[in-house]
Amino acid sequence: MKTTKEISISIKPIQQNEFTVRILGNTSIIFNRMSEKVKRDLLIGSRRKTEADKKKIKHNVIDDYKASVHKQVNRETFLGFPSTGIKGAMGTAAIETEGVAKTNVNRLIFLPDEYIPIYGKPLLSMAVVRTAGMNKAPDIRTRCMIREWCSEFKIRFAVPTFDKTSIFSLITNAGFMCGIGDNRQEKGKGNFGTFSLISTKEDKAKFEKIKKLGYDYQKKEMQKELPNFSDEETKELYEFYQKDLIRRVA
């Protein structure tokens, strides 16, 4: 009679470490969430405009401004940013970071929260953009911008593949060469969304000051009928927009 020999297999779980990272924005961050209108058009297709639609003003500035952000409920901040933006920036930075493979960043680094908090004062920003398509026609796009911002989030990673030093190096390089948000450094033409780790007493003091502009403050600011503007040009464009709205109603 044949006997089968039992084989014992021992699988060691991957060791993990976790700590909190604090970053300080070096350049303004521009939020770039896809609006609900665009999502619905992608889902069911956009309907053909009627003659009444064609007479309407092209953009609703305030709606576009509010639709450009990821809103959070009962969190540290009212405004959040997808944590995939940070991880994606780290993955790109791995290409330029000696001894780190992008595939390892994708598989062995994890941000537990879906969104990272973005502290700071929300501003309405209007800027000329080029639309997708062959003609790349110019258009005015309205988004939320924060000039002075900071964030604090948890990051988890596999050891010994990564340690604190390698994680700090990746985040530093990601903040310098990639950034997060629209028109970011990674894209080449813009330089928005860059950041760095807190490293000096001055950085810490600035971080603590900006961190006071959290959930309640941001929610109140985003609900204002007349938001704060990012610059004088945006203010002038908005005033022209308001005058044209009044003219069309009259």
Q: How far apart are CA 195 and CA 203, in angstroms?
A: 11
Average pLDDT score over the chain: 88
Instruction: Give residue-wise pLDDT tens across range 90-112.
Output: 999 998 888 888 999 999 999 99
> Residue 99's pLDDT is what?
82
Sheet holding 29-30, edge to edge: 29-30, 138-146, 123-130
> Residue 43's pLDDT is what?
54
Using a 10 angstrom Cβ sphere, with 0-12 exposed, 13-18 middle and 19 or more buried, the burial of residue 162 is buried
Q: Say whether pLDDT at 45 is over 70.
A: no
Mean per-residue pLDDT for 59-83?
A: 94
Answer yes or no: are the C-beta atoms of 123 and 229 closer than 8 Å: yes
Token pair of 23, please? 């970053």
> Residue 2's pLDDT is what?
62
> Residue 142's pLDDT is what?
93
In the numeric block, the tokens 């940013």 are attached to 81
> Residue 241's pLDDT is what?
87
Q: How far apart are CA 208 and CA 18, in angstroms?
A: 22
* CA 210 to mean position of chain CA atoms: 17
Which runs of consecutive H residues, i.e. helices, occur in 75-163?
A: 83-95, 102-108
Q: Say whether pLDDT at 41 is over 90.
A: no
Answer yes or no: are the C-beta atoms of 150 and 81 closer than 8 Å: no
Q: How far apart are CA 40 and CA 31, in angstroms?
A: 20
β-bridge pairing 29-30 and 79-82: unpaired
Instruction: Give residue-wise pLDDT tens across range 130-181.
Output: 776 667 778 889 999 999 999 999 999 999 999 999 999 999 999 999 999 9
Q: Supply the pTM of this predicted model.
A: 0.87
